[in-house]
Structure 1
């Protein structure tokens, strides 16, 4: 049964792509061009982008003609049954991006609407799809990653495309939300030659909190985790649309995510740093973050934290050493063969429901 679900998605992927190419002047193509993403429409583009046509059952009809039965179509999450018993396409009149699993197979879709409807719609959870186990953009950029491009985690599908067009140095990967999972980190790491990753989530409270929370997840897989600060109320796609140089500057000026996380955490304790208990608790809160830094930077960061909380460096150092002892453990081994694109993991991370 699973094999038929994969086959249904491959057929749907082909169908949606053809629908977009058949409408070079439709709103979907126009929207992509207006966002500065017209390059993904080029015949030689490695990016997969499609269009789900308006109408109740255009994809359903196509899949039936190609040999899929209704149970397979529903099981794949590509359609649903109405109260009256009709089989209806899940995605209608939307720009479509394919989500791929750890074997780089299409297993779901994210659709972007034009009007006032729910802007982004994901495939529902199925036997082969969970948002936490997929990435958008990985299939198009394996070659870039193998050539040394730095993976950049972003929230939205168009953000990933924008990063990919910002330069050969970066490869945008959309986690489709603010939660970056361990399996997504492994998927990004498998074909990647560099030991560095960049987090460039949206410039709002949710995006910045998501970036901080991603630090321990990404630090288990990558040696260097950087943070690209996106301006307030902006996202990478918006920066790219305004001026490609703005996005390039944000990515090029990325700094260690641990530095940003330490600043965020210390800000939480700013009002109680005049008490010893507040000072000690602040140090204990940031100690794991300091311990996650490269060894060459730990001493200077200990000194900086000590000044910020008005404590002796030795006290801060003791807490960092204790935190380092707690976090020590085996790191996941990277694939032995350069350019591997398959991650052999059987994890079951939680399902995150926030859409891009």
Structure 2
């Protein structure tokens, strides 16, 4: 497996060199649109790369270094066409290297720059002997590097880790200024549903008690991802919060539009507990001007609160009080909606407003 890792190291250097030679074009335009300065993209620990729109640029380069086609195919750096010809797996993409705990590159996430409708926007390295997508978080090795566990010297305290969907979000969030508790770092699921393996990797990356802040897209898919994250973080040894941004806004776009300091304020103001965010999502979109809609919202929110983890117990009273105000119910009705067995064994069908 050492040869596969070495091939990725060489590939990362090749792609980084391609990016450093650009003076314009879609790759640099994309970086600007995501609030990522060229200097940040090209510097450690990120060292992003660019795959030019040629068929065998990387493959030919690695062949000249002595790598065989079979090795490159096994590494996921080269794929075979229908005619049996080896070609580069990544072409015309901005590349985010995925590193292991030792800081060495194991895989890539490539963001399409062609704009062609039939081309997937993101492409991950396929499963290989050195990489499984469900077991890695983009940015976890960079967190180790930046905060001194164990790749480098200590550079400040870690205020929390923000869990995002896209790798560009993770890079852009590294620009946030430090707050009273230190700096925030970010890691990305690379567009996949968060997994138990990724949470285990995160736990091995940060000190015990580090807050996790989930910041997924404010849509149905993001809500499902947040629900899954809550279940996987049930035993997390620290606060589990959420940042809820307006529709169409993600962290990188916020930083690009507002700058790091204003974005930091907006993210701080949008922060709440993950449990409260899940309850708010269950209520939103329902017809709260109708009694059936309000009862449906209470039943949905009650199911979440009833199964809250012990860590969130101190928040339950405040969330229930806010729920009563929003739905126009009295406290007894909300309590029975959360804990129906405490009443007559049935969920409320009528209310006292």
TM-score range, shorter chain: 0.7 to 0.9
Give the unaligned 5+ runs of structure 1: 322-356
CA distance in 2, matches of 1:104, 1:267: 42
Q: Which moved more, 1:195-204 or 1:68-77?
A: 195-204
RMSD between aligned residues = 3.2
Residue 192 of structure 1 pairs with residue 206 of structure 2: yes
**TM-score, normalized by length of structure 2?**
0.78
CA distance in 1, matches of 2:9, 2:341: 49
**TM-score, normalized by length of structure 1?**
0.77
Instruction: Give the 3-state SS of the residue equivalent to 2:175 in structure 1.
Output: helix
Q: CA deviation at 1:26?
A: 4.8
After superposition, where does 1:201-240 map in structure 2 within 5 Å?
201-240=216-255
For residue 79 of structure 2, what is the aligned residue in structure 1?
80
For residue 334 of structure 1, what is the aligned residue in structure 2?
none
C-alpha distance 171-208 of structure 1, shift in aligned 2 (>3 A): same
After superposition, where does 1:276-291 map in structure 2 within 5 Å?
282=300, 285-291=303-309
Contact 2:32 2:256 in 1 (8 A): no
For residue 153 of structure 1, what is the aligned residue in structure 2?
163
C-alpha distance 301-291 of structure 1, shift in aligned 2 (>3 A): farther
After superposition, where does 1:1-356 map in structure 2 within 5 Å?
2-38=1-37, 40-41=39-40, 44-101=43-100, 104-117=103-116, 118=119, 119-145=121-147, 147-168=157-178, 169-177=183-191, 179-193=193-207, 194-244=209-259, 245-253=261-269, 254-266=271-283, 282=300, 285-302=303-320, 311-312=332-333, 315=336
Q: CA deviation at 1:66?
A: 1.6
Q: CA deviation at 1:129?
A: 2.2
Q: CA deviation at 1:83?
A: 2.2
Contact 2:161 2:211 in 1 (8 A): yes
Question: Relative contact order (alpha carbons < 8 A, sep ≥ 6): 1 or 2 greater?
Answer: 1
CA distance in 2, matches of 1:317, 1:205: 24
Instruction: Give the 3-state SS of the residue equivalent to 1:221 in structure 2.
Output: coil
C-alpha distance 39-252 of structure 1, shift in aligned 2 (>3 A): farther
Q: How many residues align?
A: 320
